Amino acid sequence: MKVDKKALIRWKVYIDRSKMYIGYINLFMMVTIFIGAIKNTDIGKFLLSNVYVAIPILIVVFIFCALLLGYWDSKLGIRSEEMRNLSLQNPVQREILVTIRDIKQEQEKILTKIELLESNK
């Protein structure tokens, strides 16, 4: 049985890209469950009785919290550190990084030789 690697990789990419949208669906389901859980409380009764005011306020609060979390993540560098660690574990990206380091070292050597040649003139 022959496996088409390109098709498998393409399918994996499609699945990875769909994770974001699945996350939105998951968020909607969690909000629905949360509303169902609090509807018999005083806060839940208030939110349900003032739904046209509560929903826009909750959306604004959600967006504010999401922006705040994103800001903290950017400031602390959590995601970038995670991506750096993942790229070091990927053999192809590791090879690219090693090649770039070698090129930089060779470039420094060449620049040093050029400076020596220019100073000897």
Q: Is residue 25 part of a domain?
A: no
Structure tokens that stand for 117 in this block: 């040649």
Q: Is residue 22 part of a domain?
A: no
Instruction: Give residue-wise pLDDT tens across range 24-81.
Output: 899 889 888 988 888 888 888 888 888 888 888 888 998 898 899 888 888 888 878 8
Q: Is residue 16 part of a domain?
A: no
Q: Is residue 39 part of a domain?
A: no
pLDDT of 107 above 80: yes
Domain extent at residue 102: 79-121
How many domains does the chain fold into?
1
State the burial class of residue 111 (Cβ atoms within 10 Å of its Cβ: 0-12, 13-18, 19+). Answer: exposed
Q: Is residue 18 part of a domain?
A: no
What average pLDDT does the chain have? Answer: 86
- What is the rounded distance in angstroms from the CA atom of residue 120 to the CA atom of residue 100? 30
Q: Is residue 109 part of a domain?
A: yes
Q: What is the model's pTM?
A: 0.50
Pick from 31, 23, 27: nearest CA to 54? 31
